[in-house]
Amino acid sequence: MTPIALEVTPATEMDTSSERDRVKVLIITGWGRSGSTVLSNILGELDGFFSAGEVHYLWLRGVIRRLLCACRRPVLECDVWTSVLSSPALTDAMRGLDAEQVVAIQRDAVRMKNLRRVLGVRAGQPSGWRELDDYRRVLNATYIAISAETGARVIVDSSKRPINAALLRLLEDVDPYVVHLVRDPRAVAFSRRRLKMAFGRRMKQTGASQSTIKWVHRNLKAEAVRRRFPDDRSLLVRYEDFVADPEASVKAIVALVGEEPRSWPFVHPNVVQLEPNHAVSGNQSRYRSGPIEIRADEEWRHEQKLTDRLIATACALPLLKRYGYRVRPAIARRRVQMERSS
């Protein structure tokens, strides 16, 4: 595969750390199919906020595979992302690296099995791990470039992987915040059984046991990361609470990052007005705009196979009570139209 090189701007044009403001980065962490895409897009409607999508996949999906930005143009043809990728801050940080090398570094260093090692690194100190330090430099510059290009004070990153949240603590120009988003594992298992399209192809279907074991693993890792954040820098949000009162959940997150936006995208308590955005990666709902009603996806309550529900319940049993879920979930009496999950 031919390496994809990015234009390098002379280092003299790059702002130094002392000359630029720190940027707030709010990362959403947890397991997929839990509403992260729509939550990120709602936050991106607030003035001073920018929904970047899954920043972790900028290089692989956006630059190498040339997939679409949420504006429906290839990332390398999107005005926002081309400006970010050619910014002085990022091109200087990328000196000696191309997109394929960044992805190779991610595959080596930014892996869930390395979470404990990453959590052991002290902020502001070199890790002694060249690949990790290279990626820290690139990721720090990426956020700085996004902020400079969009004017955002808060960048919302829906990468979801706890190790990405752990990395935020190590970035010199970032004020990190984390939202741990969790959803009933039975609902997640049902969602992962359904056929869905992503990036122009069918997503892999997952059985109830595999889905729920990964749900447990991912949420335990997310908790381990949250413990490294001060209480005023992290928040647990349940999908069920978010869809029941999305405005209240968004207000809680806004308060967490210490912002007071002048505009508000809610036209009714459960209806939000979404404009086209520039999320670099995420599920298909990132393309939606206009008035969007936020409603719980409750189809699983009456359509899920009993065996799948029992398996998911058994696998997740130690964490159900911790997150406020009943061992025997209520069964819906009528079909409820699916609205928002990611």
In this prediction the pTM is 0.88
Give tens-digit pLDDT for 297-322: 999 999 999 999 999 999 999 999 99
**pLDDT of res. 194:** 76
- What Cα–Cα distance (Å) separates residue 138 from each residue in 23, 132, 208? 15, 10, 37
- What Cα–Cα distance (Å) separates residue 41 from each residue in 49, 76, 213, 215, 261? 10, 21, 28, 23, 15
Model confidence at 342: pLDDT above 60: no
**Nearest CA among 316, 304, 112, 129 for reference residue 211:** 316
Query: Using the 8-state DSSP alphabet, how is residue 172 labeled?
Result: T
What's the whole-number mean pLDDT along residues 149-155? 97
Model confidence at 191: pLDDT above 70: yes
Give tens-digit pLDDT for 100-128: 999 999 999 999 999 999 999 988 888 99
What's the whole-number mean pLDDT along residues 139-157? 97
- Could you tell me the domains of the chain? 20-320 (3.40.50.300)
